[in-house]
Amino acid sequence: MAVRYRSMKRKDVAKCVEHLAAHPVLGPRYGRVIEQFPSTIHSLLGRDSLYAAVFEEIQGSTTRFLGVGLGVLVSDDFLQELKTTPFFWLGPELAKRITRGDSPLLSNAAVRESNSTIGLNLVVWHCTIYPEDMRRPEVGKSLISAFEDHWHGFRLREMMGQADCLEQLQGMRNAGGLYFHRTENQYGNFPEVSTLTFASEPRNSGLTRDLAISQVGSWLGSLFDYAQPQFCFSRSEQRLLSSALEGGTDEELSDELGISLFAVKKTWRVIYDRVAVCQPALIPSNSQEDVLSQDRGKQKKQRLLAYLRKHPEELRPVSRKLLQQEAAQRRRSPGSKSVFDAGA
């Protein structure tokens, strides 16, 4: 048996809703609001502010649906509401607000701007995997891998989640998170919570960029490690590179991205030219000899993809203009704190 994860597709939404409605904790919590969930998710798929991962278990020729993990990038105002008493149930509240047109999720433009300046607020909307499966080590490992693969490389400022089951709350503690106490209105140590008392109130936990310094060595703290991207690829270039990291020929990339093979090859040339200007030692020059040599082309691609696996920030949405402004300011005032770090 093997547990795997993949990005959610529109055809997965119905199964997700069915699974959510039957969840021992979340089903009763949603009630009739579950009827709004399909349209809510359909309206968000493809947005930079949402990551939806489907978790499955492969048993021979059979695939078992385990659940969905949802993470969203939200406004400062919504995060503050989430941390203000009286606490509310996160999932149903998000579904209601998005349905009525009052979504707290950031627009694509706002994601690019915040990821290039002060940083982002990440909220774990749900992990709908059932408690008995959450106790399995291979499931926990897959959850961590999916979360890290997508969110590592973003300029995070704060991360918060509301545990959907006691096992998830324990997982947040083990990962290096802190419990948000309603009475003190701040992060602190986790209280003793039993199965009987868990669902009595919303259980919020998380971490800030500043507090991550005190969590050195923790997995959750490592997500706040950030390096500024060097290449500032466009979103279309990032989509090509992200797909290329999963393997496949240019022909397969053309089919997957819905663009012509000519457009794929042209995008590669633009990417190589930009890399050669910023880091000429990373890949060989884009000479005529390189273009004619298939082996040389493969080597260039392999070296670039190997670099990107270690530098996920290159594949996250950014504003090239804002990053250039920040770099210019740092050059003018070496050692000074950038205005873009205000509030960090």
CA distance 141 to 152: 16
Mean model confidence pLDDT for the chain: 90
User: Helix, strand, coil proportions of the chain in percent (round to 5)?
Assistant: 50, 15, 30
Which element (helix H / strand E) includes 156? strand 156-162
In three-state secondary structure terms, 177 is coil
* 31: DSSP letter: G
Please give the helix or strand (H or E) that residue 114 lies within, else none: helix 108-116
User: What pLDDT is recorded for position 129?
Assistant: 94
Domain range summary for the chain, segments of one domain joined by +: 2-222, 235-315
At 283, is the pLDDT very low, low, confident or very high (cuts 50, 70, 90)? confident
Give 103-136 pLDDT, tens digit per residue: 999 999 999 999 999 999 999 999 999 999 999 9
pLDDT digits (tens, 9 = 90+) for 90-107: 999 999 999 999 999 999
Tell me: pLDDT of 200 over 90. no
At 58 the pLDDT is 94
pLDDT tens-digit readout, 36-88: 999 999 999 999 999 999 999 998 889 999 999 999 999 999 999 999 999 99
CA nearest to 81, candidates 31, 38, 121: 121
Q: What percent of the chain stands above pLDDT 90?
A: 77
The predicted pLDDT at position 285 comes to 62
Give percent of the chain above pLDDT 70. 93
CA distance 56 to 51: 16
Instruction: Give ∠ CA 68-158-332 in degrees, rounded to 5.
Output: 130
Q: What is the pLDDT of residues 136-191, one digit of tens each?
A: 999 999 999 999 999 999 999 999 999 988 999 999 999 999 999 988 999 999 99
Handedness of CA 288, 259, 115, 53 (dihedral sign): negative
The conformation of residue 128, written as its DSSP 8-state character, comes to -
Report d(CA 251, CA 3) in Å as an integer: 29
Q: Answer for the pair 233, 204: CB distance below 8 angstroms, yes or no.
A: no
**CATH number listed for the domain at residues 2-222:** 3.40.630.30
pLDDT tens sequence across 216-273: 789 999 999 999 999 999 999 999 999 999 888 899 999 989 999 999 999 999 999 9
Laid out side by side, the sheet with 62-74 consists of: 2-7, 50-59, 62-74, 120-127, 156-162, 204-208, 178-181, 186-188
